[in-house]
Structures are given as C-alpha cells and as structure tokens.
Amino acid sequence: MPVPPADAASCPLGTHLARALDDVDAGLCVGYSGGPDSTALLHALAALPRARALGLRALHVDHGLAPDSRQWAQACRTLARRLEVPLEVVRVDVARDAGDGLEAAARDARYRALGAALHEGERLVVAHHRDDQAETFLLRALRASGPDGLRGMRTLRPLGRGLLWRPLLDLSRATLADYVRAHALPVVEDPANADLRHDRSRLRGEVMPSLAARWPHVAAAFARSAALCAEAADLLEREDAAALARAQGLDPATLHVHALAAQPAPRRARLLRRWVAGLGLPPLPAVGIDAIERELLPAPADALPAFAWRDVRILRWGGLLHAGTARAPLPADLDLAWEARGRLALPGGGWLDVEPVAGATPGTGEPLRLRVHARRGGERIRLPGRAHSHALKHVLQDLGVPPWERTRLPLVSSLDGELLAAGDLVVSARMRDLLDARALRLVWQN
C-alpha cells in the first residue's frame, strides 16, 4: 500500500478534511503519535491531492518516557514511508519532577518541540476530536475554570512560526476508530493512555462511559457547552481589550490605578490577567488578584506595596501599577574604571556603552576616562542650561523614575569626582560637551 486507496478520500473523515482544506493555503504538517487518531488523520490527508499539494509532512515526538518509545518511532517511520509522506522524529527530554505532573510536562515538551520544528506559516494538524473536547471541558470544570477555560481547545491558535490546527473537533472518536478498522491501519497503543492514575485516562476509561450509559450524547453535549463558552469568552475578550487599552499607560508594563479601580471586581481580575499575559510574564495566580485588590489598589500614593511570584512582581507607585521581572540592585560597593571604548557589563545584567551619533561627522578627542559606580545618596548634578547643580534624587523624581529602577541606575563620574550621568536618563552639561566633541551618545541597557 504505497498510498491510500481512492475510497479513503470519500469516507466521512476524508470528505470532512477535504472541506476543511478548501480555505487553507499553507503548508501542512501532521502531529503524528502513531496512535489511532493521528494515524487516521495522516492516512486520510495522504489520500487528498490538495493536502499533498500543500506539502504534507509529519512530525513524531519521542518523549523517551516508555521503554518502547524508539520502536514506536520506527513504526511511525514505516507507515509514513508506505504513505510516501516525509516524517521527522524529534526527541525531547521531559522534566520528571515538574510541578504540574509528568503528563503536563510531557505535553509542554511536545508542543515546544513541535512549534520549534514548524516552518514559517505552516499548520501543525492534530487529531483532537469531539470526545477530546468533551474531556477537556469536564477536566477544566472540575478545576473550577471560568469561560476562558471552559471554552476548551481552539480550532486554530498560534504555535511557533505557524499555527496549530484542529480540524476534527466536530467528529467523534468512533468515526476515527471506524476509519482505522476499515483500512486495517497499524497503530501504536501507549499503555499510559489506559493508566487510570492520569486524570484524562480516568475520565476516558471510567467517567465518560458511565455518563454515556445514562446520557448517550454526553460528549456532544459537553463539546457544545465548550463552544458556547468560547462564544462568551470571545465577547468578554473584546471588551477586555478595550478596557485594557484605556487603563494601560504609555509604558505597556503599567496600569492606571484609577482606570482599573473604576471597573467591577470580576473585570479587574480579567484585565490583570490579560495585562500580565500580554507582557509575556508567568500567569498571575489567584492569590495575586486578591493581594492587588486588598493591598495595592487602596494603598496611599506614597507607599510602595508589591506582590511577587516566581521572579516577577507587581508594584504600586503613585497612580500606577508596574509589572516586571524583579532585579537585584547594583552592589553598593560597585566602582569600575571605564574608558568608554566599548560596552561595559554591569552586575546582574545590563550594560553601558557609547555609540556614534548617526549621520554625525566623527569627533576627535582623547578617550573618556570615567568611573561607573552605584548610588550612595546625596549626589548632585549640573544639567545643561542650568547655572547650579541639583540633587539627583529630585531630578529622578521629576522624571518619574520608579524607586526600584533607581537602585539599578549606574552613575558615571569623572576621575575628579564630578557626577556626569545617571544611566542615559540624566546627562550633565559637562558630559554632553564631552560626548558632542566626539560625536557620541551614551546608552544604558537595564
């Protein structure tokens, strides 16, 4: 059987996929585990000329968790070769001590590997079906999820440089099983799928059959509920996006407290989670929502309350919430010699540098011999156009530099002890003249 027979394209699975491909104009890559569902998907797609024209290929992830995993990978290679579909096997290491359990760790490792292997704009096609969607809905309901979680799996979402595509969410597991039997396809049976210690396996092996015995359409009902939750979640997300745009500061990592407080509490919780997620930070835990409500929002303007989780924190300063990675202050005894001829690395990350001014005529002059040190308090600086010096503390306050950023701020002084700059935020009159004479500018990366 070098390629699937013609009738594979005319069965319910084949016709469903043919319709789904009508609107697709991107490369296709099947996530192929060797199990019954992904085997049916790959075989049916291989029977469609349209899929082959889109560059049909397959990826298999070997987690290395089972003794037979290499044999499973070889079985996948064998069928892919018979179907004349290119197959790549990707091996991953799964963190066995992950906090969310081995099942979740394996899933995360799998999708990271699949996403990294996708080509630009390519679709990773996976065989999740209606019964999978029903199980996902029930699992999340048991974890007390709201509409965002109960929406279940999306048909299409970003993954790596392409998209994750689930075209079979309207089909049942039985439809795929019938296809496998009809074509006598060889499949890999992972014993972990029958291990009732795993939540999904227990749902699939015991809970769903029990429910189906009383309510035969339970899978379709749960999947429909997931679709309704998805509709509600989409409406909420559109409103969230508009509210967040009104509350967010010029710096995306800030939120205006008054705009946030004007929203009802459930909306505030959604906005905070969306804000944190949009910054690429770890998910904000429920205790974080409570802490922000109880301690940060009602805090006086001169306080500096914070909530921290993992290596991230949200702080209230003045009328804004600030979110970001927690960074240690510069060492109090930091004192470095710098000739300003190249990048100077700073403790804890970040650097100072001088760069040529774009379009300017290269300047002249001796190399700058400078000292770079941490703040110690009491520093004063003379700004361009000013006759007298000013306290650096007041200058930074006027610029709105948050207190925790000031602790990371490298100061630049001359060898005779005059303060010349604070990062690249504050540059003295003397430093400006020194830089202008050399057609340079000071750059600080925190």
Domain 6-223 has CATH 3.40.50.620: yes
Domain 252-325 has CATH 3.90.1150.10: no
* Reported pTM: 0.71
* Mean pLDDT, all residues of the chain: 90
Residue-wise pLDDT for 350-394, tens only, equals: 999 999 888 777 767 778 899 999 998 899 999 998 889 999 999
Q: What are phi and psi of 392, to 5 degrees?
A: -60, -40
Range from 142-146, 191-195, 395-399, 403-407 carrying the lowest mean pLDDT? 191-195
> How many Å separate Cα 391 from the centre of its chain?
42
Give the N- to C-terminal CA distance of the chain in Å, as an integer: 61
Which two three-digit tokens encode residue 400? 């709105």
Name the residue among 153, 76, 163 with its Cα closest to residue 124.
Answer: 163
Given a contact cutoff of 8 angstroms between Cβ atoms, the answer to whether 62 and 94 are in contact is: no
- Longest Cα–Cα distance of the chain, Å, equals 90
Residue-wise pLDDT for 162-183, tens only, equals: 999 999 999 999 999 999 999 9
Residue-wise pLDDT for 270-316, tens only, equals: 999 999 999 999 999 999 999 999 999 999 878 899 999 988 999 99
pLDDT at residue 237 in the model: 92
d(CA 26, CA 44): 18
Name the residue among 48, 54, 52, 59 with its Cα closest to residue 4.
Answer: 48
Residue 37 annotated as binding site: yes
Hey, what long-range contacts does 15-22 have (CB within 8 A, 24 or more apart)?
16/167, 16/168, 16/170, 16/171, 17/41, 17/44, 17/45, 17/48, 17/51, 17/167, 17/168, 18/48, 18/50, 20/167, 21/48, 21/50, 21/51, 21/54
Residue-wise pLDDT for 384-398, tens only, equals: 988 899 999 999 999
Range from 8-22, 54-68, 145-159, 266-280 carrying the lowest mean pLDDT? 54-68
Q: What is the residue-wise DSSP string for 228-244? A: HHHHHHHHHHHHHHHHH
Residue 36 annotated as binding site: yes
pLDDT at residue 109 in the model: 85
d(CA 402, CA 231): 40
Name the residue among 338, 303, 334, 336 with its Cα closest to residue 319.
Answer: 303
Name the residue among 283, 273, 275, 249 with its Cα closest to residue 258.
Answer: 249
**DSSP, res 362:** P
Confidence category of residue 62, pLDDT binned at 50, 70, 90 = confident
pLDDT at residue 5 in the model: 66
Residue-wise pLDDT for 97-150, tens only, equals: 655 666 777 788 888 999 999 999 999 999 999 999 999 999 999 988 888 889
Residue 350 annotated as binding site: no
pLDDT at residue 117 in the model: 93
In order of 77, 274, 277, 298, the CA distances from 324 in angstroms are: 45, 14, 11, 21
What percentage of the chain exceeds 90 in pLDDT?
Answer: 71
Contacts with 387 (C-beta within 8 Å, 6 or more apart), sequence order: none
Given a contact cutoff of 8 angstroms between Cβ atoms, the answer to whether 352 and 338 are in contact is: yes
pLDDT at residue 3 in the model: 64
Same fold flag, 6-223 and 252-325: no
pLDDT at residue 349 in the model: 86
Q: Tell me the one-letter amino acid at 61.
A: V
Spell out where 200-328 has E strands.
254-256, 306-309, 312-317, 320-325
Contacts with 113 (C-beta within 8 Å, 6 or more apart), sequence order: 61, 90, 92
Domain boundaries, the chain: 6-223, 252-325, 335-445
d(CA 233, CA 236): 5
Residue 201 annotated as binding site: no
| Comparison of pLDDT for 194 and 241, the residue scoring more | 241
